[in-house]
Amino acid sequence: MTDLVRPDGRPQGRSDRCPGRCSAGHPDGHLDWRPARARSVTLRHDRVRGLDLLVLPERVVVLRGAAASILALCDGERDVRAIVAELERRHPGAPVADEVPVFLDRLRHEGWLR
């Protein structure tokens, strides 16, 4: 994923984010938040190249690892807790509870999730 950047192009530091524990600084990692892709963002699979893509206005992000399966669960119906529970069921022993809320927060602050 790309680093967070201010509108003036300088990297965003921790002090520019909210105080707290999640990647954006929010205290509980937004576990009650029901993430959904922003209206201008589409999740696609490129069959020719075998890649999962996040298609944004004037930009395409190649997704690696489990990113596409995480984003596929971001339907606006499930909260972060339910997404984590589903991924823990699919991937026992993986550090889902630690990594997924941080990943989702980062995408939210990029503007890719709402």
Summarised one tens digit per residue, pLDDT across range 24-44 is 554 555 789 999 999 999 999
Q: Please report how the helices 96-110 and 80-90 are oriented relative to each other, as an axis angle in degrees rounded to 10.
A: 130
Tens-digit pLDDT profile for residues 62-83: 999 999 999 999 999 999 999 9
Q: 10 Å Cβ neighbour count for 38?
A: 15
Domain map (residue ranges) of the chain: 24-110
* 9 has pLDDT over 60: no
Give CA separation, 53 vs 63, 71, 113, in Å. Answer: 6, 11, 15
Top pLDDT among 3 and 80 is at 80
Q: Does domain 24-110 have CATH number 3.30.160?
A: no
- Pick the residue with more confidence: 7 or 78? 78
Q: What is the mean pLDDT of residues 45-67?
A: 96
pLDDT of amino acid 30: 73
Token pair recorded at residue 46? 């490129």
Residue 10: CA count within 13 A, CB half-sphere: 5
Instruction: Please tell me the pTM assigned to this model.
Output: 0.74
